[in-house]
Amino acid sequence: MSASPDNTELPKLTIRSHHKDSGKEITFDAPILNGGMGVGVTGPELAAAVTREGGGGVLTGIVLGYPFQSILSKYLDKKPYEANLLALQEWIHDAKEKANGGFVGVNLMVAVHDFKELAYTSAKSGVDLIVAGAGLPMALPEVVSKFPDTMIAPIISSVKAARVMVKRWVSKGRPPDAIVFESVHHSGGHQGASVEEIMSGANQPQEVIGGVRELLDKQGLTDVPVISAGGVWDKNDILKHLSWGAGGVQMASRFLLTNEAGAEFGGISVFKKLYMENKKPAILERSPAGLPGRAIETPFSSRFAFSNIAMKNEPHSCPFVCLVSCDKKASIYCILDHLTAALKDNYEEGLFFAGSNIGNVDAIKEVLSVKELMMRLISGEPASTTSNAAAV
Ligand SMILES: Cc1cc2nc3c(=O)[nH]c(=O)nc-3n(C[C@H](O)[C@H](O)[C@H](O)COP(=O)(O)O)c2cc1C
């Protein structure tokens, strides 16, 4: 990672639908998608701005009904899952409008109860791409089969998981349109591996990207790009991941440091301040989702860090029954409450997910507009930029 401008031109990225009834194909001028950040961080403002600047804007689509309840009174009388669908529909329409009809993707977690309904609603509302992780989205091709132009991409963290996905989807006559690889060593939020697996050092990006590329090529799926996520902060990182065989990158943590991130919830200033000021490595904390989560070290995440052997379950109510894996009574805490607390600027109780670059003191940490950030990602950082520059 460095602040030097690089004149190498980034290649375009093309994603096409492999549904038998579709000829849809989208080419991005810049091979950059923003990663979905739940709950509520990547809304229409951010996603649309990424698309307008030549990349692919991706909304988070999970449990929107819960944080929305406090600001959109019209959803208050709706049942929880119905509120999720209404909020998602509204975000998709809003993002499409702000993107001038351009690309809008949605990120969904397989681990939520209403995954299938959210996927169906996303497709029906006209999203261009569904990126689905936190579990393997085995049934996704069937769920959206009536919408040939909705492209679909599973998130995987190992060649083994990619093999399972490709085999299953090809057997259903619907190969993936892209594969998103999330590195368990770098990406923010929930990880697709146990702490022991992460600590073993297995599944490094270079190895998995190359392995998945080979797997796809052997199947004749040479036009299916591998989109690499985790630890990508600047243009040099993008070029590195492309040199390993990725067709594009998915970046999340750096996009959190934009004016547009969390705009629908007041701008998430505490989240951004923490990103700017943090100098400690990200930690792995326990999540009721059953997977480790990578987060900034704060009072809350420290209580549930894997390094904290004295961890105690926290008494809590279950406001929304969001996760399939979560046992209302026995779960260690309510993740929805603590993710929402982060969205609402509550430093003490918030769970602030972040990728590995959060502990990198050399990373440039400024809150920029998406326009300025995309310009820097495409052209390289301006020579005058210094590390950890401006304040929020
Ligand atoms: C605050 C935050 C929330 C995230 N939420 C989700 C999510 O809801 N679903 C998901 O698939 N990935 C989620 N991620 C992972 C990102 O989409 C992305 O793949 C990953 O963070 C990339 O690594 P980077 O942050 O180093 O760029 C989240 C990441 C962050 C930082």
Q: What are 109-137's pLDDT values in tens digits?
A: 999 989 999 999 999 999 999 999 999 99
Provide the pLDDT for residue 7: 84
pLDDT class for 77, splitting at 50, 70, 90? Answer: low
- Is residue 186 lining ligand 1, measured as CB closer than 6 Å? yes
What residue segments make up the domains of the chain, in order of their start? 13-267+362-379
The minimum-distance atom of ligand 1 relative to the CA of 134 is 11
Mean pLDDT of 57-63: 93
The minimum-distance atom of ligand 1 relative to the CA of 182 is 19
Provide the pLDDT for residue 2: 47
The minimum-distance atom of ligand 1 relative to the CA of 34 is 17
- DSSP label at 330? T
- Taking CA atoms only, the protein residue closest to ligand 1 atom 3 is 37
Q: Which stretches of 278-333 are DSSP H helices?
A: 299-303
The answer to whether residue 70 scores a pLDDT higher than 80 is no
Average pLDDT of the chain to the nearest whole number: 92
Q: CA angle 219-132-192, nearest 5°?
A: 85
Structural tokens at position 332: 């260690």
The candidate with the shortest Cα–Cα distance to 55, out of 13, 20, 93, 84, is: 13
- Cβ burial, residue 306 (10 Å; 0-12/13-18/19+): middle
Q: How far is the CA of 21 from the centre of ligand 1 (A)?
A: 32
Q: Write out pLDDT tens, residues 239-251.
A: 999 999 999 999 9
H or E element in which residue 369 lies: none
- Is residue 231 lining ligand 1, measured as CB closer than 6 Å? yes
Query: Contact, 71 vs 368, CB < 8 A?
Result: no
The candidate with the shortest Cα–Cα distance to 249, out of 337, 173, 357, 143, is: 357
204-217 burial: b if 16+ Cβ within 10 Å, else e = ebeebbebbbebbe
Q: How far is the CA of 3 from the centre of ligand 1 (A)?
A: 24
pLDDT class for 389, splitting at 50, 70, 90? Answer: very low
- Is residue 354 lining ligand 1, measured as CB closer than 6 Å? yes
Phi then psi dihedrals of residue 360, to 5 deg: -90, 105
Helix (H, G, I), strand (E, B) or coil at 15: strand
Whole-number Å distance between alpha carbons of 215 and 36? 26
Structural tokens at position 361: 């003191």
Q: Which fold has domain 13-267+362-379?
A: TIM Barrel (3.20.20)
- Is residue 188 lining ligand 1, measured as CB closer than 6 Å? yes
